[in-house]
Amino acid sequence: MSIKKPAPDKSEMAGTDTPDRANTNAKLDSLEEFRSDATGQALRTNQGVKIADNQNTLKAGPRGPSLLEDFIMREKITHFDHERIPERIVHARGTGAHGFFQTYENHAALTKAGFLQDPGKKTPVFVRFSTVQGPRGSGDTVRDVRGFAVKFFTDEGNFDLVGNNMPVFFIQDAIKFPDFVHAVKPEPHNEIPTGGSAHDTFWDFVSLVPESAHMVIWAMSDRAIPKSLRSMQGFGVHTFRLINAEGKSRFVKFHWRPTAGTCSLVWDEAQKLAGKDTDYHRRDLWEAIEMGDYPEWELGVQIVEEENEHDFDFDILDPTKIIPEEIVPITPLGKMTLNRNPDNFFAETEQVAFCPGHIVPGIDFSNDPLLQGRLFSYTDTQISRLGGPNFHELPINRPVAPFHNGQRDAQHRTTIDKGRASYEPNSIDGGWPKETPPAAQDGGFESYPERIDAAKIRQRSESFSDHFSQARLFFNSMSDHEKEHIIAAYSFELGKVEREFIRAREVNEILANIDLTLAKRVAENLGLPAPAKGTVEVRKTSLEQSPALSQANLLPGNIKTRKVAILAANGVDAAAIDAMKKALEAEGAHAKLLGPTSAPVKTADGKALPVDASMEGMPSIAFDAVFVPGGAASITALSGDGVALHYLLEAYKHLKAIALHGEAKQLQDLLKLDADAGLLQGADVGALTKPFFAAIGEHRVWAREPRAKAIPA
């Protein structure tokens, strides 16, 4: 209901009314009836109906499917879906690539989905990676969740596996999705901050919604600042069903595992990249594919038999929970390879439309209440964003399987339908197109006949009520350096929150229920009293740690596709450069030769050596490691070059492997850098390569971090 406020008192306005001022005042007066202040008002629908429960979708029983008749949920999400044009409301900043999926073997015992049957068949895919919060112009390396959406163009129709790089989500019920996104988006009064969650409305919401605790700690971990899109895991988030030809159903969770390993940036590096190379992630993906370093992910599933659905100390339908791999291992299904970049960003990456409701025979949904809402929401969003119901006819969305039905006309229709009957059944066109009975060969889609016998209620299942055990599991599973990064992330983000009561609530009512040490460390950094205990009783669970959750355990064991900067000036030792380049190439890694400028450098024997870029043009944050070849004149020049010295200091601060050859040892002495497992020096390039490559393979020299913090950013 609109609240009409009294008009401004013109006598209080300085100056005498002029015609322009009078017109302005009249305009302000006329707008007053449209202004609304919700203070003291009941929550209502857009039709004025008071809302009794804004937390839960109407379901058939507490764990049953969501009901289409829920007009409150539909109104809320429909309005939300149409709030932005033309870019996506969330996941607006994205990049994509083409590729293929190939199953390892025939998985007919698990599912009748055709693309998981024939190991010799390559199923085309298109993948879109994205950030969640920011608009299209925001940075790639901000702290955020990453979307990981895969469209399989199967012979039986399109299957969209629409997930994230984190296996859980902030909310349990789709009716809360607009609230969460409104909270994390830039604040409405000043449209700040862009692409980040470090502000009051986000932390106000999550500190009031304990179910978000697990996802928030993932977002405060290094998972939210991935090293590259190629080194991200992907997850379907929800529990789905796989159904075989005999009608046997099993619950599954989908996982994508990169063959490149899983690792992240450090926070200072992520912030600098956001300024120096906004397109860092999309550029890395594009260049890897162009160079033939095709990114690969293994698709696997965790399988839960129907009769074991309730065997866990959590609910497998709860999207804020994982199934730890130590309890249910991942069964590999096949591999996805991305091998072709788009020809046109708008026509492909921007117009691709993913919908969780796009499934094929052999795959079906569970009653996860967040998934149930997404099935409605995504299609509704695409209708608005892509200008009508025919978005499936755009080339990037068009299935390889034919589509025939009575759905005709509307905006942007490109199919020229023949025949006079646009309805079914008909006798005019011989009855075509006709239904395909499920029992027939290549039968039609049949929903799993799950029995539902429950009251229509708005209620959260009691099995969804534990909000802190898995957040605690995640924190306990981290390595020491990962825990320190989580503490630093909470401290940074909450330090940006203006209202102290929000900071205190997050510390005392959320963090203290996850881990008291975490809460006390963050409280100390914020200048708040340290909580003595949590506000809820700690639940005993079957698992205290899950090593599979720590990125420290997810490295690939090689240095394939890693990037090494080679710093050189006039007088450089060309033989050392050549030896290191050959050694890196043999391991599948890449080297770039960088000079003081983009001009060629002269080798010690006077030959011109082209460089790939200047040190300023390709800063250390764009590389995984640094090699400095010897050559007395070159090292003398680099010793007096502020850019070169900063290059090494920054690489050292970001815990990267550094190898100094011959006279380059002088740079270590000049900068007063402590030697460690990743800061190496020697006169023989061949002897340097083994420890240097081993340090690169560890991703970072984590033991250096306490010393590196003392170096100014």
Tens digit of each residue's pLDDT (9 = 90 or more) over 316-338: 999 999 999 999 999 999 999 99
Helix axes 71-81, 177-184, angle to 10 degrees: 30
Tally the C-alpha atoms within 13 A of residue 104's C-alpha that lie toward its C-beta.
Answer: 9
Domain with CATH 1.20.1370.20 in the chain: 469-553
pLDDT bracket for residue 2 (50, 70, 90): very low
pLDDT at 369: 96
Q: Are 346 and 394 in contact (CB under 8 A)?
A: no
pLDDT at 22: 58
Catalytic residue of the set 91, 199, 238, 485 = 91
Quote the pTM value.
0.90
By residue count, the chain amounts to: 713
How far apart CA 299 and CA 242 sit, in angstroms, is 14
pLDDT bracket for residue 432 (50, 70, 90): confident
Domain with CATH 2.40.180.10 in the chain: 59-199+227-393
Residues 6 or more apart whose CB falls under 8 angstroms from that of 168 comprise: 214, 215, 218, 237, 319, 320, 321, 322, 470
Give pLDDT tens digits for 87-114: 777 888 999 999 999 999 999 999 999 9
Give pLDDT tens digits for 33-53: 655 777 787 777 777 777 878
Percent of the chain past pLDDT 70, that is, above it, reads 94
pLDDT bracket for residue 16 (50, 70, 90): very low
Average pLDDT over residues 177-203: 95
> In CATH, what number does 469-553 get?
1.20.1370.20
Q: Which helix (H) or strand (E) holds 76?
A: helix 71-81
CATH architecture of the domain with range 563-708? 3-Layer(aba) Sandwich (3.40)
Catalytic residue of the set 158, 164, 341, 513 = 164
How far apart CA 622 and CA 564 sit, in angstroms, is 9
How far apart CA 41 and CA 410 sit, in angstroms, is 41
| From 254-258, 294-298, 427-431, 692-696, the region with the lowest mean pLDDT | 427-431
Confidence check: pLDDT of 574 > 70: yes
Give pLDDT tens digits for 41-86: 777 777 777 787 888 898 899 999 998 888 788 888 877 887 664 6
pLDDT bracket for residue 15 (50, 70, 90): very low
Task: Indicate the DSSP class of residue 574.
Answer: H
Tally the C-alpha atoms within 13 A of residue 69's C-alpha that lie toward its C-beta.
Answer: 5
pLDDT at 407: 84
Average pLDDT over residues 227-247: 97
Our answer to whether residue 91 is catalytic in this structure is yes
Give pLDDT tens digits for 633-649: 999 999 999 999 999 99
Our answer to whether residue 164 is catalytic in this structure is yes
Domain 59-199+227-393 CATH class label: mainly beta
How far apart CA 386 and CA 379 sit, in angstroms, is 10
Confidence check: pLDDT of 150 > 70: yes
Assign residue 338 a region (left: φ > 0; alpha: ψ between -120 and 50; beta: otherwise): beta
Domain with CATH 3.40.50.880 in the chain: 563-708
